[in-house]
Amino acid sequence: MRRKAYAKLTFFLHAQERKEGMLRFKNIIMPIDLFDMVYLEKSPEMVLETDKEYLPNDKRNTVYKSIMIMKKRYDIQDNFKVKIVKNIPAQSGLGGGSADAAAVINMLNDLYDLNLTSQELIDVAREIDEDTPFCLFNKPAIVEGIGDEIEILDYNMDLYYVMVKPGFGVSTKSFLKKYQHFHYDHNFDLCHEGLISQNFELMSDHMHNDFQRAISKKNSKLKKVARMLKDEGLQGVCMSGTGTTIFGLTENRDEAIRIYEKIVFDYPFVKYGRIKK
């Protein structure tokens, strides 16, 4: 059994408050055409393989965690061999680990004909992290709370991205524990309105990430990447999630290709592609 595990870009990230020790968000998240491949089959024992040496192949891996949760909740006695072919870089804010976990949750749901409701799937996914519930569905959405409140969005723009990940990442857990800069942000409504009304300028002018300023202070290279993408003519230039990927948008595929070809050899990871609908 195999499945594509799609990455995501965060068009708007707003940390609203900390409640019971957990950050609560109001985000706009979009699936993109970058994906890992996840292969799953029954096995006499639990085996987890990846094609990247830096990834853990034990209980620290989100895929291992998701399998253990599903086995316990739904009395699944089988063990599994899982192979993950990674295309989504780690610590990038693109949701790679979350996407892999979501793919396995969906595969086990199908393999055992569990017929879980959307809420039951979310209840499993939110035990992994705040992005895994979104990755279950891979559709544009407003995501609130601890990632478990999902409102699917209907939009009809053709949007292309160019993304750059410098050669360093951010430890999400350590960063989130320290974050305290809560405020009201009316720009969320404007970004949302632009997206659903197909007003590219309104949407891109109000894209935002609450974490970007704090992370950029510690990593000046992020500012340089953002400035470069803006100078090349991309709009809505923003950091995705809590990672270090900086991306920008255009409505013109040829423009995305031009920028990609110009900068592809300047950074460890550069990609262009299309926002999924």
Chain segment 201-229, per-residue pLDDT in tens: 999 999 999 888 878 877 788 999 999 99
Q: Are residues 164 and 147 in the same domain?
A: no
Q: CB under 8 Å to 107, separation ≥6 — which residues? A: 1, 3, 38, 40
Q: Are residues 240 and 181 in the same domain?
A: yes
Residue list for the binding site: 89-99
Last residue of a domain, one of 92, 124, 152: 152
3-state SS assignment for residue 57: coil
Among the options 8, 65, 86, 271, which is catalytic? 8
Active site residue 173: no
What the block records as the tokens of 112 is: 């055992």
Among the options 100, 129, 131, 185, which is catalytic? 131
What the block records as the tokens of 230 is: 């803006």
152 in Cβ contact with 25 (< 8 Å): no
Task: Tell me how many domains the chain contains.
Answer: 2
Active site residue 131: yes
Q: Are residues 10 and 145 in the same domain?
A: yes
Q: Are residues 114 and 217 in the same domain?
A: no
Q: Are residues 181 and 126 in the same domain?
A: no
Residue 29's domain spans which residues?
2-152
Residue list for the binding site for ATP: 89-99
Residue 138's φ and ψ, nearest 5 degrees, are 55, 45
Q: Are residues 20 and 109 in the same domain?
A: yes
- Residue 33 pLDDT > 90: yes
Question: Which pLDDT tens digit goes with each residue over 68-80?
Answer: 999 999 999 999 9
Residue 226 belongs to what H/E stretch? helix 220-231
